Amino acid sequence: MPDSRDLQLSSYDYVLPEDRIAQAPVEPRHDARLLVVPPAERSLSALRHQHVWDWQQELQPGDLLVVNDTRVLKARLRVRRSGGGLGELLVLEPRGEGRWLCLARPAKRMRPGDQLWLEALEQEPLSLAVLASDAASGGRIVQFPPDCVDALALEGLLERYGEVPLPPYITRHDSSDQERYQTRYATRPGAVAAPTAGLHLSDALLAAIAERGVALAHVTLHVGLGTFRPVETEDLTDLTLHSEWVEVRSEVVEAVSACRARGGRVIAVGTTSVRALEAAAAAGGGRLQPLKGPVDLVIQPGYRFQVVQGLLTNFHLPKSSLLLLVSALIGRDQLLQIYDAAIEEMYRFYSYGDAMWIAPEAVLFEARPEGTA
């Protein structure tokens, strides 16, 4: 019988002591702790505590890891407003002909028609114009140079003027964030936040996993407003998410098919990889197919997965869409109990924090893809 509380946002809240929010990553990457969720029929007393390096032993020859190869842009821009005051833009997504949707702060001081000046050390000031307000996001449409039509074209400007947009709960900033807040396989620019589960995968761990006979496939989901914006809808039957740009290429579809044919398991690294794969399957009517474009798929308890069988993930913010997604795999009540155990065991939370491994046998029976054990 479905639990009505699963459809109430307030049911996805928990209290996290501030000192559990990781302010810096561990080194090496694979030295983060790993909480292993027990099989669905076992009690939580069977939780295991390992390190991400040990994760290779949880994988089986023939498995397929699906990672998100998005690259985080230096999307935070400091600007001087035409009135002389300072402000900040977070560049989110292109709107054509050099126009970009940006979150603005202070938004009330950046009105349509205003001029902004980008400033950075050893760089000439660059003029931008606020064109319009965006009601859906509360942001501003800002005119950049007209040749900045996409993330690849804009990246050079952002490299000169921008900063890596660490989440607001990370109050310590360091030059190492430029490299450390990227996955080792980040190749496609466009995200404003990292796909954080992938931050744990070092070159050495990736090599060890490959040597074990585990295949790797890359999807792209440019992490944007839909992932990090707080959910504000108490009745989750009405939940909609801001769309994010996804590309699932034909090679991924072929890799998943080959994995299934050899009896392997499809393992997602991070919730963004889950959303990319499941959105591509939803677009194909339940059958995975190539997909390129915006997606706004909502995954919450009651969802039946089409592709993903297991998940490596971080510990997520209360009342977030990511918490809903993980609850769809293992159940809301079980997830909150696991989070309580993680807090008690001094795990580190959020982007630079520790990880959790949900093996296929830990997934709720009713959530597993059809035809899988």
Here the CATH number for the domain that contains residue 339 is: 3.40.1780.10
Q: How many domains does the chain have?
A: 2
Looking up tokens 């069988």, which residue turns up? Answer: 309
Question: What residue spans of the chain are helical by DSSP H?
Answer: 151-161, 177-180, 203-211, 225-228, 250-261, 271-283, 321-330, 332-344
Q: Which of 254, 310, 332 is nearest to 11 (CA)?
A: 332
Residues 126 and 194 in one domain: no
Residues 61 and 81 in one domain: no
Asked whether the beta carbons of 280 and 290 are under 8 A apart, the reply is yes
Token pair for 44:
């939580």
Asked whether the beta carbons of 66 and 269 are under 8 A apart, the reply is yes
Residues 194 and 132 in one domain: no
Kindly report which listed range (61-65, 238-242, 306-310, 360-364) carries the lowest average pLDDT score. 238-242
pLDDT digits (tens, 9 = 90+) for 86-120: 999 999 999 999 999 999 999 899 999 999 999 88
Instruction: Compute the distance between CA of residue 52 and CA of residue 322 in angstroms, rounded to an integer.
Output: 20
Residues 201 and 187 in one domain: yes
Residue 352, number of CB atoms within 10 A of its CB: 25
Residue 196, number of CB atoms within 10 A of its CB: 26
Residues 311 and 195 in one domain: yes
pLDDT at residue 285 above 70?
Answer: yes
Instruction: Compute the distance between CA of residue 179 and CA of residue 27 in angstroms, rounded to an integer.
Output: 13
Token pair for 186:
């980040």
Percent of the chain scored above 70 by pLDDT? 98
Which range of residues forms the domain containing residue 156?
A: 76-163
pLDDT at residue 227 above 80?
Answer: no
Instruction: Compute the distance between CA of residue 195 and CA of residue 351 in angstroms, rounded to an integer.
Output: 8
Task: For residue 130, give the H/E element and its range.
Answer: strand 126-134
Give the pLDDT confidence score for residue 1 in this predicted structure.
56
Residues 210 and 184 in one domain: yes
Give the pLDDT confidence score for residue 232 in this predicted structure.
87
Percent of the chain scored above 90 by pLDDT? 87
Instruction: Compute the distance between CA of residue 328 and CA of residue 301 in angstroms, rounded to an integer.
Output: 4
pLDDT at residue 287 above 60?
Answer: yes
Give the pLDDT confidence score for residue 224 in this predicted structure.
84
Token pair for 238:
């009405």
pLDDT at residue 4 above 60?
Answer: yes
Residues 139 and 211 in one domain: no
Residues 329 and 240 in one domain: yes
Q: If DSSP states are collapsed to H, E and C, what string results for 223-290? A: CCHHHHCCCCCCEHHHCCCCCEEEEECHHHHHHHHHHHHCCCCEEEECHHHHHHHHHHHHHCCCCCCC
pLDDT at residue 30 above 80?
Answer: yes
- Of 130, 163, 196, the residue at which a domain comes to its end is 163
Instruction: Compute the distance between CA of residue 16 and CA of residue 322 in angstroms, rounded to an integer.
Output: 16
Instruction: Compute the distance between CA of residue 134 and CA of residue 230 in angstroms, rounded to an integer.
Output: 18
pLDDT digits (tens, 9 = 90+) for 352-362: 999 999 999 99
Looking up tokens 């072929």, which residue turns up? Answer: 254
Q: At 149, which CATH number?
A: 2.40.10.240
Q: Which residues make Cβ contacts (< 8 Å) with residue 67, sequence separation at least 6? A: 183, 185, 195, 198, 201, 216, 217, 218, 219, 269, 270, 273
Q: How confident is the model at residue 2 (pLDDT cuts 50, 70, 90)?
A: low
Residues 234 and 316 in one domain: yes
Residue 285 lies in a domain: yes
pLDDT digits (tens, 9 = 90+) for 334-347: 999 999 999 999 99
Instruction: Compute the distance between CA of residue 42 and CA of residue 362 in angstroms, rounded to an integer.
Output: 9
